[in-house]
Amino acid sequence: MNKFFFPESIVIVGVSEAEDNLGQNIILNLANFGYSGKIYAVGPKGGQVMGHTVYPSVLDVPETADLAVILAPARFIPEIITQCGIKGIKLAVIESAGFREMGESGKRIEKDLLTAANLSGIRFVGPNCMGVINTQNGLYIQFIALPSAFKKGHVSVMSQSGGIGLSIAERLQQPGLGLDKFVSMGNKLNLDEADLLAHLIKDPNTKIVYCYLEDFKRGKEFADLAFQTNKPVVLHKSNATPLTRTIAKSHSAALAGDDKIVDAACSHAGIMRVTSTEDAILAIKGFSMPFLQGKNLAILSRSGGHAVVATDMCAEYGFNLPKFHSSILDETRKHFRAGVINIGNPLDMGDIFDLKIYPQIIEKILQQPDIHGIVYIHVSHMLMEKKDTIQLMKRLAELTYQYKKPIVITIEVPHSFYPALMKESMYPFLMDPVEAFKALTFQYQYTLYRQKTEHTVEKTVFPLKENVKSWIKGICQKNRQPLLHEALDLLDRLRIPTAPWRMVTTFAEACEAANEMGYPVVLKVVAPSVLHKSDQGGIAINIKNVKTLEEQWKDIHSRFKNIIGIVLQKMIFASREIIVGAKRDRSFGPAVLVGLGGIMVEAMQDVSMRLAPVSENTANEMIHKLRGARILGPFRGMKIANRQAVIQCLVKVSQLMHHFSEILEMDINPMILSDDGNVALALDARVICSTATET
Amino acid sequence: MNKFFFPESIVIVGVSEAEDNLGQNIILNLANFGYSGKIYAVGPKGGQVMGHTVYPSVLDVPETADLAVILAPARFIPEIITQCGIKGIKLAVIESAGFREMGESGKRIEKDLLTAANLSGIRFVGPNCMGVINTQNGLYIQFIALPSAFKKGHVSVMSQSGGIGLSIAERLQQPGLGLDKFVSMGNKLNLDEADLLAHLIKDPNTKIVYCYLEDFKRGKEFADLAFQTNKPVVLHKSNATPLTRTIAKSHSAALAGDDKIVDAACSHAGIMRVTSTEDAILAIKGFSMPFLQGKNLAILSRSGGHAVVATDMCAEYGFNLPKFHSSILDETRKHFRAGVINIGNPLDMGDIFDLKIYPQIIEKILQQPDIHGIVYIHVSHMLMEKKDTIQLMKRLAELTYQYKKPIVITIEVPHSFYPALMKESMYPFLMDPVEAFKALTFQYQYTLYRQKTEHTVEKTVFPLKENVKSWIKGICQKNRQPLLHEALDLLDRLRIPTAPWRMVTTFAEACEAANEMGYPVVLKVVAPSVLHKSDQGGIAINIKNVKTLEEQWKDIHSRFKNIIGIVLQKMIFASREIIVGAKRDRSFGPAVLVGLGGIMVEAMQDVSMRLAPVSENTANEMIHKLRGARILGPFRGMKIANRQAVIQCLVKVSQLMHHFSEILEMDINPMILSDDGNVALALDARVICSTATET
């Protein structure tokens, strides 16, 4: 696959002498940006273009090539690929559009194209894409004439949209950043996001991967790759709303999937998800600095106002501002001009006019062990400071690497300073204190994630497998979805605690069960036709004696037909409820979720989701991330809830989903948490199985 | 006050021949940027600076002046102000620092300074500020030498931080924006945010006001001014966290107030609150375009990916994408080159290479009546398109004004295009589809706000005034805070429905009351020493018969001392609860809030707050804004809650707070909302009064 980026020879298919021929732009770009390999042009009309003979077909090219770049009408491309195969070409970039995005006829062409490629053993990028760039060897094969080569750097871009990819590449021209490799993935008919990520995380020049996607072809594989690498992956996954359906269809055949599972996958794999190119660049800037090893910052600013804004952000993003050692304060005070500013952290440096003093103070702060990073806001509006500003930036870049602590620099200077700054600075800077904290937060989240995953690679040992196997066998024989008592039975087999329950079919059995477990009890009808028990009046709660039991028993039987039985359950009182759920996604596989329960809180839709299986640590983090998590702590006279039971429940459900693909969905709703903090009991459950047999 | 911005003569105090004298920069700026009035320099050492005689004191200046700009050490300034008074100067800008921000000694100087100014009838900006700018007459009196004049425009800036003010002024150099007036307010010792806003909203050249504040000196007045004007006010209020205490103190003596009341004031007055300079500029860009009159947009993009991202934002911010008329689609299709893209709204224009076609299609879309605005993402990476890009921008600016519909332009082009674009474009553009939607959302919020307030100026008629007066009289006589039965009595007087209750002191009375209202009942102890009834076991609920009533009566009496009585209340069952509260802010006056109640939901802190008094419409909006508002609709088998009762309660509490400054705080917690939607009843209330007598 390396030849995609380092081909020694290229065949360009779709070149003609016509003035508006786009194939010419490919040759032009290669020539302009220094590609030194061989170039062969192909086009049915022949002729000469920029000194290259245009061969009528691929078969006419005098020798084989490492890569074919194809920009011919869609309907010809399967045949062209076959010819490439005959010619011994193994890799292709298909830039033409006109495939599945144009409906049925395009889909048929895609099928033919795949067949042709498979027969010839050709792997290809596209179709419907802007091609590949490698800044190292001048490989620019875009069908538009680019104005200049991109700055070389450490970021590689893989994008399902060529336009978005180029927008990112443009922004990578900023100081301290730069582009290494670029792939416009288009329809991802052959090489997809997992193939390309696999390549880029192994690529020695790529330190950070940016990825723009509109759908996932192999989500689980993509997440697993990001999980394994220690290179940051920044993901912009758009197409999150049904509104995008028209455009996504027209441009790369993607449809909106379940967006929450993308968040779950990102949390799982430490992928930084962003929703704009601007935020993507902030994340990339964050990842291009030394990494923060703790939450303690120093804020330095030449403007008190900017220091206040930065401190607001410091609080908002959860960082701390420890006190400076007195030696730092003394050093600073020494250089004050008018002595009209109080000093501390944040530090208003507005009274120090000589920019050469700044690195001295900043270095002292970097030496303070309990400070992990610096946010420095450089405010300079004086013409005479332009040169000194550039010198200062250079010195700060040296210091940040020397002390391996990030100095996040925000620049607030006149527009006229920028051209020189952009040209001479080798270290990223931000445009606003808010941006500085966003960049810092992206990188710190990643540090935390990396620290964590080193210790908690998910275990998938599942000692209860046999219990579940026999349960699934039973369900399969019945050839219908599991009913309430069967779902509760599954929980019992998983040793997830349930409120005492018994499936009864006669009133005598019901009395016996109620006496055994003690009143009050609850009745829940079990019948294949009853989907929403409570909405349909299939539940009777708080039954306190045998008399009421009999009344309710009769009532339920009078109102429902085809009753298989009734689940009689101990009535349990508790103020706190949670929901545990699981589902299986086409692209990402199984996922589990936890949310706060109860009707009032359900309206808030406060849930967190992760890919299954989850470890205890991850389950704990899921609960912690709930907006209303403090309800589970000591709260309003209630003791801390039995979180451990919830964690165990999540882990078990996640392992169930991981090991048994027959289970498509599952809900435990509610699991109640006693006020005394002792127990967590599932009251109700629902399971949906596929008809698939056990694997 | 106009003379602050149009002085015909200026005295600059604090000038010397010393090389590092900052006063010289003021003279330099005035000379460089074309100020044509008279300039007098003053400094104790005398001499000559840039052709100006330096007079030893203000008294030595040969004539009076319109404005004094003072940059002398703080301790001399009261005397200088007195001299200005003697000389007949009525306005001053005091730029020097060293006042309250330096502690007690500085505070004393401020006091002397205010006295001197009042005696002389002088009004001043500052101290501790960067002065004033007027781009119309070249008035630049900053003590730093600025590199160039700011571009003239329609935005005026008033900032409590000079640094932040200049950061905004720099960003106003972008196309379609520009600076009119600039005030760095500093310590706001004399002229404050309300004075300056009052001036700027009357200023004919100012179309948009940007304001940066760290505290409010006269919040209520500021909000009222913003409420009255139809010029958009963009507010960045920082200093929202206790963490900023050090820096705010050191730089402009501001301390964090209650941040939620700032949001309430902004909602009240239609002020657009932002949290960064970047967002401020987005809001200003939005306000600098024709205003959107509805929620229907067209999205046009030369890159399908950008169209998808924009469409995600469209859904996120709640806009619609109506279908295009077939004539628009036909027109577009006619110009497609390869015909390889499906068309619709959003419209991927990637297949139209000739930029001259774009205005034709865009004009047709502007003509479609049910489309209120266009988001156009201009993606162009081809060198040859540079000139055409600039032509296109110009034509789109014409069209947007011609059709009075916003065309929000996002530019995604190579860096090398920017200098020409920045210079030649007269219409704002954005850097990212996300920015485009933020800008559009800012302006649309403002449109909605203006549409609404035209119809709902708050009424303050309060027919129940006498009822409250006698209640307050009673409380004043007791010389203590109101107790539960008194708080409930206040609600009865306001005709806010309460659950049936009676204050009883003997068991016989309790029995009688319980029989009258019917079991079950609740007991609530009333004693001055009991602050938190429920935490201290002062409440007995769900008492079903006289036997339990007697037990609980005795139990409460055995556990509490100094019992004044017991409130016996009818026990009411309902699933939904809300909280209504009110408080009085030092700077903004009274405010009311509503939130969802119940312990689970309270943990979510889901409340909305507004300045009092509120109209029914505003109260309705407050409820609507709650995150969990759908609980109040038909929800899980419950009927729609009695919102009208909640609205009435909010209106009455707001009027109470407006008319009776004796009431400092109030809480109705909970008010329960019956499942059948019929009633809303207050169960508990707390009132805190000042010792002030009635006004």
Asked whether residue B169 carries a pLDDT value surpassing 80, the answer given is yes
Helices (H), B336-478: 358-367, 386-403, 418-424, 433-453, 465-478
Mean pLDDT lowest among A225-234, A529-538, B214-223, B326-335: A529-538
Within B16-103, residue ranges assigned H as helices are 23-32, 77-87
In this structure, the strands spanning A521-526 and A565-570 are antiparallel
Q: Which residues have CB under 8 Å from A112's CB, separation 6+?
A: A78
Q: Is the pLDDT of residue A257 over 60?
A: no
Kindly report the pTM of this predicted structure. Answer: 0.91
**Position A256 confidence tier, pLDDT thresholds 50, 70, 90:** very low
Q: What is the mean pLDDT of residues B499-521?
A: 95
When mean pLDDT is compared across A209-218, A520-529, B216-225, the lowest value belongs to A520-529
Quote the minimal CA–CA distance from A462 to chain B in Å: 34
Give how far the C-alpha of residue B132 lies from the chain's centroid of Cα atoms, to the nearest Å: 24
Judge whether A163 is closer than 8 Å to chain B, CB to CB. yes
Gap between the Cα atoms of B158 and B438, Å rounded: 23
Q: How many CB atoms lie within 10 A of CB A13?
A: 30
pLDDT at A613 over 80: yes
CA distances from B514 to B485, B546, B556 (A): 16, 8, 17
- Show the tokens assigned to B552: 């609980």
- Work out the number of other CB atoms within 10 angstroms of the CB of residue A8: 12
Confidence bin at A601 (pLDDT 50/70/90): low
Say if A237 is an interface residue toward chain B (CB within 8 Å): no
Contact B315 A603 (CB under 8 A): no
Instruction: Please give the mean pLDDT across all residues of chain B.
Output: 90
Give, for A663, the enclosing helix (H) or strand (E): strand A663-673
Q: Does A146 sit within 8 Å of B381, measured CB to CB?
A: yes
Phi-psi region at A593: left, alpha or beta (left = phi > 0; alpha = psi -120 to 50): beta
Å from B658 to nearest chain A CA? 32
- Residues B256 and B248: their CA atoms lie apart, in Å, by 8
B552 pLDDT band (50/70/90 cuts)?
very high
pLDDT at residue A225 in the model: 96
Q: What is the pLDDT of residues A49-91, one digit of tens each?
A: 999 999 999 999 999 999 999 999 999 999 999 999 999 999 9
Q: Chain A interface, mutation test: which of B28, B148, B381, B385, most A Cβ atoms within 10 Å?
A: B381
pLDDT digits (tens, 9 = 90+) for B590-599: 999 999 887 6
* pLDDT of amino acid A489: 96
Give me the residues of B, 639-658, that contact A with CB < 8 A: none
CA angle A470, A476, A479 (to 5 degrees): 150
pLDDT digits (tens, 9 = 90+) for B621-636: 999 999 888 888 888 7
How, if at all, do strands B152-159 and B179-184 pair? parallel
pLDDT confidence bin for B384, thresholds 50/70/90: confident
Helices (H), B206-297: 219-228, 245-252, 259-269, 277-287
* Coil vs helix vs strand at B304: helix
Pair of tokens at residue B619: 């109260």
Best residue in A308, A335, A631 to probe B by mutation, most B CBs within 10 Å?
Answer: A308
What does the pLDDT read at residue A422?
87
End-to-end CA gap in chain A? 34
Confidence class for position A255, pLDDT limits 50, 70, 90: very low
Residues 6+ apart with CB under 8 A from B379: A163, A166, A167, B301, B302, B303, B306, B412, B413
Report residue A673's pLDDT band, with 50, 70 and 90 as the boundaries. very high
Question: Mutation test of the interface with chain A: which of B157, B235, B311, B432, choosing the one with the most A Cβ atoms within 10 A?
Answer: B311
CB contact under 8 A, A161 and B305: yes
Flag whether pLDDT at B693 surpasses 60. Answer: no
Backbone angles phi, psi at A366, to 5 degrees: -60, -30
Helix (H) or strand (E) segment spanning residue B197: helix B193-202
Q: Grade residue B438 by pLDDT with cuts at 50, 70 and 90.
A: very high
Q: Please compute the mean of the pLDDT values over residues A635-643 and round it to a whole number.
A: 85
Task: Tell me which chain A residues have a C-beta less than 8 angstroms from the C-beta of B350.
Answer: 163, 251
Residue A451 has what pLDDT?
83
Beta bridge partners of A578: A596, A671
pLDDT > 90: percent of chain B = 72
Q: How far is CA A92 from CA A34, A38, A42, A198, B576, in A?
A: 21, 16, 14, 18, 63
The pLDDT tens digits of the residues spanning A446-490 come to 999 888 765 455 556 788 888 999 999 998 888 889 999 999 999
Q: Report the 3 state secondary structure along A490-554.
A: HHHHCCCCECCEEEECCHHHHHHHHHHHCCCEEEEEECCCCCCCCCCCCEEEEECCHHHHHHHHH
Segment 411-440 of chain A within 8 Å of chain B by CB: 412-417, 431-435
Average pLDDT for B80-84? 97
Q: How far is A606 from chain B (nearest CA, A)?
A: 10
Are the CB atoms for B594 and B650 separated by under 8 Å?
yes
Q: B254: phi > 0 → left, psi -120 to 50 → alpha, else beta; which? A: beta
Are the beta carbons of B243 and A321 separated by less than 8 Å?
yes
Both tokens of residue B87? 């000389």
Per-residue confidence band for A695, with pLDDT thresholds at 50, 70 and 90: very low
Please name the residue that has the structure tokens 């919830």: A646
So what's the pLDDT on residue B256?
Answer: 40
To the nearest whole number, what is the mean pLDDT of chain A?
90
Quick one: DSSP state of residue A345? S
Is residue B181 less than 8 Å (CB to CB) from chain A?
Answer: no
Euclidean distance between CA atoms B19 and A531, whole angstroms: 87
Measuring CA to CA, which residue among B204, B191, B194 is closest to residue B225? B194
At A245 the pLDDT is 60
Tell me which residue in A339, A383, A636 faces B599 most closely, judged by beta carbons: A636
What's the pLDDT tens digit per position in A14-49?
999 999 899 999 999 999 999 999 999 999 999 999
pLDDT band at B601 (very low <50, low <70, confident <90, very high): low
Does A187 contact B at CB distance below 8 Å?
A: no
Q: Could you read off the pLDDT of A384-430 as tens digits, one per residue?
A: 788 899 999 999 999 999 999 999 999 998 888 888 888 888 899 99
Q: How confident is the model at residue B418 (pLDDT cuts 50, 70, 90)?
A: confident
Q: What is the predicted pLDDT for the residue at B427?
A: 94
Torsion, Cα A625 A626 A630 A633, to 10 degrees, reads -70
Three-point CA angle B159, B164, B170, nearest 5°: 110
Residue B672 DSSP SS3 = strand
Which is more confidently placed, A636 or A354? A354
- Higher-pLDDT residue of B490, A574: B490
* Residue in B262, B309, B544 to test binding to A, most A beta-carbons within 10 Å: B309
At residue B333, the pLDDT reads 83
**Among B470, B494, B517, B695, residue whose Cα is nearest residue B582:** B494
Q: Do B250 and A170 touch (CB under 8 A)?
A: no
Q: Do A163 and B412 touch (CB under 8 A)?
A: yes
By the CB < 8 Å criterion, does A307 face chain B?
Answer: yes
pLDDT bin (cut points 50, 70, 90) of residue B338 is low
> What is chain A's alpha carbon radius of gyration, rounded to the nearest angstrom?
32
pLDDT on residue B454: 54
Helices and strands: H and E segment counts in chain B: 22, 28
Highest mean pLDDT among A360-374, A515-529, B90-104: A360-374
Query: What is the tens place of the pLDDT at every residue in A135-172?
Result: 999 999 999 999 999 999 999 999 999 999 999 999 99
| Tokens (6 digits) for A353 | 């006019």
Q: Which amino acid is at B408?
A: V
Chain B window 503-542: which residues touch A at a Cβ cutoff of 8 Å?
535
Q: What tokens does A183 get?
A: 């792939």
